[in-house]
Structures are given as C-alpha cells and as structure tokens.
Amino acid sequence: MTSTETNSNPRLKDKYLSEVRTQLKSKLGYTNEMQIPRIEKIVVNMGVKGAVESKAKVEVAAKNLGFITGQLPTIRKAKHSIASFKLREGMPIGCAVTLRGDRMWEFMDRLFAVVLPRIRDFRGVKDKLDGRGNYTMGLAEQSVFPELTYDMIDFPQGMDITFVTTAETDDHAYELLKELGMPFRKPELDEAAI
C-alpha cells in the first residue's frame, strides 16, 4: 500500500467493526465473536405498477434502481398467469437488486444519513421485524434519493428495502440496526398519535 492510498472501508462498516460489535457483545451477552449478529445483505425490490400495459415502465424503473444502488438490477417476471389482471407467465413486472459487501454498507449509510431525513414529516421507521431477524421497510417514492434528478423520474415509484441479518431473534436484530443508526420511531410518538 502506497502512502497515497487510504483505508477505503465504508464509514458504516468501520463503525460496525470498531464500535457496534463490542457494544452488542456486552449488551446481548455473547461469548463467541461469531455469535454477534451482522448484516448479510440488503435486497431492494420495485414492483412496477402498470408494467402489464407498458414494458418500458419496467426498463425505466430498472434504470432508476441502477442509479440508486450503483448495481445493475435483475428484471423480475411473473411466475403465474392471472387472467383478471391480464398478466401472463413470464411477463416483466418488477426489478430487484441484492447488495452485499462494501456496496451494501455504502447504500445503508446513504439511506440512514441522507435519504430518510429528506422525507417530509419523517418521524422514524416502524420497529416491526419479520420474526426471523430481518427487517423490511418501504419507501413511497424514489425521488428522495439524491442520485436521481427530477428530469430522470418519469413516474413515482415505490420500493421495498429488506435488511437480512444473521440475528437469531428480532430483539437482537433490532439492537443491531439501532446501533448502526436505523432511525426507529420513538414509542412516545406512537402513543401521541392515538
């Protein structure tokens, strides 16, 4: 390594390795380093409304998703034909990206630090996990990502973002995501809304 090269680890990955692992180990009472939960992958999925009428919508959504994640998405096709929706097996209906490694950490950092604070009236994300230590959140529009300009957006498109962890329980996964900076909604805000 030359003197001009620097440590190129993503910021959130460095935080996980230096701070979060030791905090989780002491807080959750792990004895083995391999027990400590970690983020395995992030899956970003877009189901495109109106894909049956126009295949071009799926291509535009895939292009936007590629700009957002920095990775070429795969086109998802219908597995079954549904006559009432005029949907045939094999028709493109959405796109998805699976992020791992440094690209996953960089996407997560941008999501927590830049994208979520840009959402109007944002008060935090819900704290409901899936029962297996994974967390899925939805975004209503792709326009909150700074990688996209308004000229690039032909139609508003939502997406689902799934964080797949190695945690055995929802409580451990919640602690991992909270320590990494996931802005979970405060419990007192939920009570005030009732």
Of residues 115 and 90, which shows the higher confidence score?
Answer: 115
DSSP for the chain, written as a single string: --TT------HHHHHIIIIIHHHHHHHHT-SSGGGS--EEEEEEEEEPTTTTT-HHHHHHHHHHHHHHHSSPPEEEE-SS-BGGGTB-TT-EEEEEEEE-HHHHHHHHHHIIIIIGGGSTT---B-----SSS-EEEEES-GGGSTTS-GGG-SS---EEEEEEE--SSHHHHHHHHHHHT--BPPHHHHHHH-
pTM across the whole model = 0.82
pLDDT value for 188: 61
| Residue 28 burial (CB count, 10 A) | 16
Residue tagged 């030359």 (tokens): 2
> Is 50 exceeded by the pLDDT of residue 3?
no
Share the mean pLDDT of the chain: 82
What is the average pLDDT across 157-181?
89
Give the confidence band of 1 by pLDDT, cuts at 50, 70, 90: very low
Do 91 and 80 contact (CB within 8 A), yes or no?
A: no
CATH number listed for the domain at residues 11-17+36-193: 3.30.1440.10
pLDDT tens digits, residue range 10-45? 889 999 999 989 998 888 888 888 889 999 999 999
pLDDT value for 51: 66
Of all residues in the chain, the percent with pLDDT exceeding 90 is 17
Give the confidence band of 163 by pLDDT, cuts at 50, 70, 90: very high
Of residues 151 and 109, which shows the higher confidence score?
Answer: 109
pLDDT value for 6: 55
Domain ranges of the chain: 11-17+36-193
Of residues 13 and 120, which shows the higher confidence score?
Answer: 13
Integer distance in angstroms from the first to the last C-alpha of the chain? Answer: 57
Do 139 and 158 contact (CB within 8 A), yes or no?
A: yes
pLDDT value for 2: 46
Residues for the chain: how many in total? 194
pLDDT tens digits, residue range 96-107? 999 999 999 999
